[in-house]
Structure 1
Amino acid sequence: MRRAYLVPGLLAAALVTWACTDDIIGVSYPASPTGLYYVLEPSGDPAAPSGIVLHWNAVNDPALDGYNIYSRGTANESWGLRGTTTSTSFHDEGVPHLQYYVTAVNVDGGESDPSDYVAVDERLRLPAPQSLISISLDGAIHLEWADNAYQSAPDGFDYYRLYSAAYDLDLNLCGSDWVLEGTTVSASFLVAGITNGRPRCFAVSAISIEGFESLWSGLRYDTPRPDGHNVILYTAAADAAQSGFRFFRDLNNDGLVSRTELGLVGAASSGTNDFVLTDVGGTLYLTAQRANDSLQVYGTTPIASLTDIDIAPAGGYTRDQISAVPLWGYVFQMVEGAFYRYGSIRVSAVGPTYVIFDWAYQTDPGNPELSRIAR
């Protein structure tokens, strides 16, 4: 269904003056085109679409030669020929004019009366999507937002556009290298295939069936990070070779993070783990091992998943051992050179001599993002 607003004073204006008679004998005139409508081409700038595509119904005339497209930039300007085509659509590149109409032309040079005209009416633009949130994932970011644009005009809504750009964590500034990540009709989107440890800005806009692009949502930044699931860690007495955990160890000393250097399970006796599992009187504890490592319980209640751990706290870490409790989250702070690095775990099960947990690690030095959600 196409939408339109009637503009007072414009409908009564004559589009063009046409002669009632013609002195050229034998010239016939085709019927006027019908069903004219337009679709704008979004550009990312709501005020400057990249173009407009006009569509109309074909004129059934064996002598038809083509169509003329006319436009004007304001309601007070004269109409001018914008282009010609033999198809039933026309692409006008660049910022579109305000109004358009189409005529049919036959092989004798006869031109029809104008079609009804269409006006590019910005009042059909949808509101900007609200409440953009994100969840950090391994090589991906999950985005969600309120579906207010669709709810404001279900018959006028078409789809959402997702954008991203680089983000400078130190300057708290989004870059200017915005790119289109994709489109969706739902109020969520998974941005996949992005590099862990590299922060990015995100925004979403809503597109109407006419192609009007809304203003952007508020900007959201997030940083993907690697994670792992269902890791089993034992006490040293139960399995000495699998009693310590290291989030990241630069095994080849190249300063880069590779998959084989993440989520390492080893012996507590090595002394190089971020934490080990200890048994004190039948209670299992998480104990920081490396000299500059510390930890804390995340929040005051159990968490549903690892992604519930969003920003690593700035303080409150301890070297004291903390009991491992099923469904609770824990955050680790580790000193690496001049920066802190952060990791998190969610314990899913505790056995007599072992724990099972999921983990996440932020590879961007100094970045506390483990999962970014609404706060």
Structure 2
Amino acid sequence: MAGCEDDNCIFNPVPAAPQGVFSITGDGAVYLYWYGPYEADIVEFIIWRSDEPVHNYREIGRRPAEHNPELDLWQYEYIDETAQNSVTYYYAVSSVDQAGQVSELSAEEVKDTPRPEGQVFLFDAAIESSLSGYHFADSSTVDSSESDVYVDRFNGVFYLNARNDYTDLQDMGYTESFDDIGWAPQDGWSELGWLEIIQGHTYVIWTDDLHFAKMRVETINPNSVTFRWAYQTAPDNPELAPRSDGLEKPVHGPEYLRKDNKSTTLK
């Protein structure tokens, strides 16, 4: 309260905190989004980061507020380009008004762990086995026998295959964008170690060394498939865009891998 003298008072409360704060995981970056409060005198937002959920938040940047006299709902973006892959960060945002008053930190717990991503062309193993597989830890195209997953083709249809029965796959269905899948699922893993490759579908991989990855089909070519991929280098961390409690590896039967089951009736 400022300027109070007898009955002539001006009430200027501290602004409300931003709402709906969330993040999208990037490669060496974290993308933050939030909604500004319904207040006309907000001039900017302060972005805060910590290595723990409650304490030690430090300012890492500011984002000017849009002029908003009609109190419309605005969503804002800030990109933390100083984030390092495999490191978990906690984020919060506060509002600043024209009087320089700063709100409380946003209420949401926003946690993010950046990870590498890229694009890869994988060939049918029967045509070029040395270029049919992908090894996420090395970000390298390898022979199917050395891969986490590899591509082959049966009756003109491409399939994504687990290399061994300790690697799990799940088709997350059609996605509009690569960022639509931000977390690995807790259940629903395929009972078979291969999945049909479909244009626009995103697949989540749980590797035999307990890392998570995702691959989205960009293009299906005559002899190869183009994927966009991301790999979470922090083990047991299902964040692809750390909720690992309760995740247990499925147990597979002897017919899990295609190379161990030659029955053409399976496809």
Q: Shorter-chain TM-score: what band?
A: 0.7 to 0.9
1:342 aligns with 2:212: yes
Match of 1:247 in 2: 136
SS, match of residue 307 in structure 1: helix
Dislocated runs of 4+, deviation >3 Å: none
Instruction: Name the residue aligned to 1:292.
Output: 166
1:155-304 to 2 correspondences below 5 Å: 156-167=41-52, 174=53, 176-186=55-65, 187-218=76-107, 219-229=109-119, 231-248=120-137, 261=138, 263-268=139-144, 271-298=145-172, 300=173, 302-304=174-176
2:200 equivalent to 1:311: no
Offset from partner CA, 1:28-72 (integer Å, 9 cap, x none): xxxxxxxxxxxxxxxxxxxxxxxxxxxxxxxxxxxxxxxxxxxxx
Q: Contact 1:273–1:290 (CA<8 Å) still a contact in 2?
A: no
State the distance in 2 between where 1:203 and 1:296 align. 32
> Structure 2: how far apart are the matches of 1:162 and 1:192?
13
User: Which whole-Å deviations, capped at 9, do the CAs of 1:93-122 have from their partners, x for residues lacking one?
Assistant: xxxxxxxxxxxxxxxxxxxxxxxxxx9x77
- Following superposition, the deviation at residue 238 of structure 1 comes to 2.6
Distance in 2 (alpha carbons) for counterparts of 1:124 and 1:329: 47
Q: Choose between structure 1 and 2 for higher RCO, CA contacts under 8 A separated by at least 6 residues.
A: 2
Q: Which amino acid aligns with 1:317?
A: W
CA distance in 2, matches of 1:294, 1:165: 33
Larger Rg: 1
**C-alpha separation between the residues in 1 aligned to 2:125 and 2:231?**
24
The superposition leaves residues 69-92 of structure 1 with CA deviations (integer Å, 9 ceiling, x where unpaired) of xxxxxxxxxxxxxxxxxxxxxxxx
The size of the alignment, in residue pairs, is 230
- Partners of 1:237 and 1:304 in 2: CA distance: 31
Question: Letter of the aligned partner of 2:39 in structure 1?
Answer: S
TM norm structure 1: 0.58
Q: Which amino acid aligns with 2:118?
A: G
Deviation at 1:351, TM superposition (A): 1.6
Distance 1:176-1:5 versus aligned 2 partners, 3 A rule = closer
Tell me the amino acid that sits aligned with residue 164 of structure 2. R
* Residue identity opposite 1:344 in structure 2: K
Equivalence for 1:353: 223
- The residue aligned with 1:140 is 29
Cα deviation, 1:119-141, whole Å, max 9, x if unaligned, reads 9x773422110000110000110
The CA deviation string for residues 189-231 of structure 1, in whole angstroms up to 9 with x for no partner, is 00112111111110000001111001211231111111112x1
8 A Cα contact 1:196 1:223, kept in partner = yes
Residue 346 of structure 1 aligns to a residue whose secondary structure is strand
Measured in 2, the distance between the counterparts of 1:247 and 1:304 equals 23
Rounded Cα–Cα distance in structure 1 between residues aligned with 2:130 and 2:235: 29
Alignment check: 8 A CA contact 1:122 1:212 kept: no
The alpha carbon displacement at 1:10 in A equals 6.8
The residue type equivalent to 1:208 in the other structure is D
Change in Cα spacing, 1:122 to 1:310, as seen in structure 2 (3 Å) is farther
Amino acid corresponding to residue 9 of structure 1 in structure 2: D
Q: Work out whether residues 341 and 366 of structure 1, in 8 Å CA contact, stay in contact via their aligned partners in 2.
A: yes
CA RMSD of aligned residues (A): 2.0
Deviation at 1:144, TM superposition (A): 0.5
- The CA deviation string for residues 164-206 of structure 1, in whole angstroms up to 9 with x for no partner, is 1114xxxxxx152311110011521001121111111100000
Question: How far has the Cα of 1:290 moved from its partner?
Answer: 3.0
Q: Given that residues 136 and 231 in structure 2 are in contact (C-alpha distance below 8 angstroms), is that contact kept between their aligned partners in structure 1?
A: yes
Structure 2 alignment gaps of length 5 or more: 66-75, 243-267
Alignment of 1:73-152 (within 5 A): 123-148=12-37, 151-152=38-39
Q: CA deviation at 1:5?
A: 6.0
Do 1:124 and 1:208's aligned partners in 2 also have CA atoms closer than 8 Å? Answer: no
Q: Percent identity?
A: 27
Aligned-pair distance for 1:322? 0.5
